[in-house]
């Protein structure tokens, strides 16, 4: 009797989750199926869910006629540079977590305080600063403002602060230099947190939109998200093409996310946001 009741509970929960899940996934399903339709099939009333005659013409058009290959390349460059930022975050987190030095407390609070600043406040001055530095319309200008992040530094500090001091002391006694200790000892130990931050960095770099939009005036610096917003503006009625563009942005990140999602979850639990 009790067991039956448990089962009914669970079935109700699963039904509720399924309804919610369908609502969460519908936009993606609609996007992917529509991206394989011919331009006029996407405009059918009532709409078809599955494409009647599936076609790759939208994808071919994006890469052959539009500049999506350039945008993709730029996006991957942004992601790659963001990984350098990840290294900076890790270094800062390590120093804050494992060293004593004058001004440490002040500097760390300052880092945390930057989390509270809305991007709209810094948007204009950052533009002016980059303008003064002559970095408008360059790849460096696109990535510099988002390169390091307080939250990432905080997570690294939390994790690396837990590494036993004896480990570093032993290495120092053996004559290892500080860089050697960081790269050969601390980095390998920090794999769990690096995995989480790596995937989050990838997502952030891939999805980065506002800065490339503001800073890049030249199409050769556009990232995928900027290119897609351009496509949306210029091909207002070609929904199939738009859906193909959106799929190019969304599907790779989904695949990467599915592979690594376990690490994200574990990272959230171990970093202690509860």
C-alpha neighbours within 13 Å on the C-beta side of residue 106: 3
Nearest approach, Cβ of residue 103 and other proteins (Å): 9
Segment (H or E) for 124: helix 119-132
Q: Residue 18 or 56: which CB sits closer to other proteins?
A: 18
Distance CA 111, CA 95 (A): 13
Q: Which of 244, 224, 260 is nearest to 62 (CA)?
A: 244
Q: Residue 221 or 245: which CB sits closer to other proteins?
A: 245
Q: Residue 17 or 69: which CB sits closer to other proteins?
A: 17
How many residues belong to the chain?
A: 274
DSSP code of residue 216: -
Q: Residue 111 or 194: which CB sits closer to other proteins?
A: 111
Nearest approach, Cβ of residue 269 and other proteins (Å): 5
Distance CA 251, CA 96 (A): 37
Q: Residue 54 or 177: which CB sits closer to other proteins?
A: 177
Q: CB of 97 within 8 A of CB of 164? A: no
Nearest approach, Cβ of residue 127 and other proteins (Å): 8
Q: Which of 91, 264, 270 is nearest to 187 (CA)?
A: 91
Q: Residue 43 or 69: which CB sits closer to other proteins?
A: 43
Task: Please state, in angstroms and as integers, the Cα–Cα distance from residue 264 to each residue in 10, 139, 159, following that order.
Answer: 26, 29, 14
Nearest approach, Cβ of residue 164 and other proteins (Å): 18
Neighbours of 54 (CB within 10 A): 12
Nearest approach, Cβ of residue 64 and other proteins (Å): 20
Distance CA 145, CA 131 (A): 13
For the record, the structure tokens of 213 come out as: 């939009």
Q: Residue 44 or 60: which CB sits closer to other proteins?
A: 44
Nearest approach, Cβ of residue 54 and other proteins (Å): 18
Nearest approach, Cβ of residue 55 and other proteins (Å): 18
């Amino acid at each position: 009797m009790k067991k039956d009741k448990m089962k009914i509970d669970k079935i109700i929960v699963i039904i509720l989750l399924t309804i919610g899940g369908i609502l969460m996934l519908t936009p993606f399903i609609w996007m992917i199926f529509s991206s394989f339709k011919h331009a006029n099939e996407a405009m059918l009333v009532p709409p078809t869910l599955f494409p009647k005659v599936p076609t790759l013409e939208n994808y071919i058009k994006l890469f052959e006629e539009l500049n999506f290959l350039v945008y993709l390349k730029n996006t991957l460059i942004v992601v790659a540079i963001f990984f350098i930022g990840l290294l900076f975050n890790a270094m800062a987190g390590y120093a804050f977590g494992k060293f004593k030095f004058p001004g440490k407390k002040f500097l760390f609070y300052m880092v945390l305080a930057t989390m509270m600043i809305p991007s709209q406040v810094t948007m204009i001055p950052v533009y002016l600063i980059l303008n003064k530095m002559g970095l408008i319309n360059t790849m460096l200008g696109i990535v510099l403002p988002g390169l390091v992040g307080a939250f990432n530094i905080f997570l690294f500090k939390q994790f690396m602060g837990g590494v036993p001091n004896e480990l570093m002391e032993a290495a120092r006694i053996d004559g290892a230099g500080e860089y050697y200790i960081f790269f050969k000892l601390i980095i390998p130990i920090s794999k769990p947190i690096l995995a989480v931050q790596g995937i989050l960095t990838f997502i952030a770099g891939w999805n980065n939109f506002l800065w490339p939009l503001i800073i890049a005036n030249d199409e050769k610096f556009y990232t995928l998200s900027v290119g897609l917003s351009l496509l949306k503006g210029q091909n207002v009625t070609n929904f199939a093409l738009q859906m193909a563009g959106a799929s190019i942005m969304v599907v790779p990140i989904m695949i990467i996310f599915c592979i690594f999602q376990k690490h994200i979850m574990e990272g959230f639990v171990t970093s202690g946001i509860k």
